[in-house]
Amino acid sequence: YNVFMGLQYGTRTAAMMDVTDPRVAGTQFTAYMALSNVAIATAATWQGIAIDAWGYPITLMVDAAVGLLGLLLLPLIRPARRAEDDGAPVRRARTLCLGLGVLTLLWLPLQAVSGGEGGLRSILDTLFTLVFVAGALVLLAGRAMSREGGAWARWAPWAALGMAALALRRFWPVPAAPHGGPMLAWAALVLLGAVLLLWGSRQPWTGMAPSDGPAR
């Protein structure tokens, strides 16, 4: 087992080193390692909850099935073959906002179908905590990179604060009933964050565009 884990960790680290841009190698590789640690911590959290709720056999089967999905991403992990155009960073920022906005909206229907308590609800809470934290950071980054300001830039910090509260919501008692007052407040924060993230997918992100021309 230790040999297998060593090979897995070494291969993953080598792949991250291979796709790191030498111009920003220290920062980019550190970010990859940080994300890897987040994945390990998140997996340990949801697996502990799942073992209590489902037992070891089902948890290990789900873990193996989810792990296989990562194989689908391997063909996409490769160094860039040509230099990016000036608009690529802006397009990535917009795509990230769009993806996080959609995931944030998914919290609402999943809360309805997952029930008030239980292992599934706890696992979803763990996964959406990552979504909310990422959404808050992206909104704050967008505000910092917005040169012309505007309504989106003014609302982004407030939406980020709301998403940070959502990430910490497990520390406040919330009634399981969907019509409870606190649950309505969480739903309002989710909608605010999702709207601002989706709105961010239409922003120019001027701070990431070249200074001598508009973003494409």
pLDDT digit string (tens) for 133-177?
999 999 998 888 877 678 998 999 999 999 999 988 877 655 444
Share of the chain above pLDDT 90, in %: 23
| pLDDT range class, residue 47, cuts 50, 70, 90 | confident
| Biggest alpha carbon–alpha carbon distance for the chain | 59
**Minimum mean pLDDT among 46-55, 136-145, 168-177, 187-196: which range?**
168-177
| pLDDT range class, residue 15, cuts 50, 70, 90 | confident
User: Average of pLDDT values for 187-216?
Assistant: 79
**Under 8 Å between Cβ of 190 and 108:** yes
**Under 8 Å between Cβ of 64 and 176:** no
Residue 21 phi, psi (nearest 5): -75, 120
Given a cut of 80, whether residue 102 has pLDDT beyond it is: yes
Please tell me which residue, 76 or 100, carries the higher pLDDT value.
Answer: 100
Please give the pLDDT value at position 170: 72
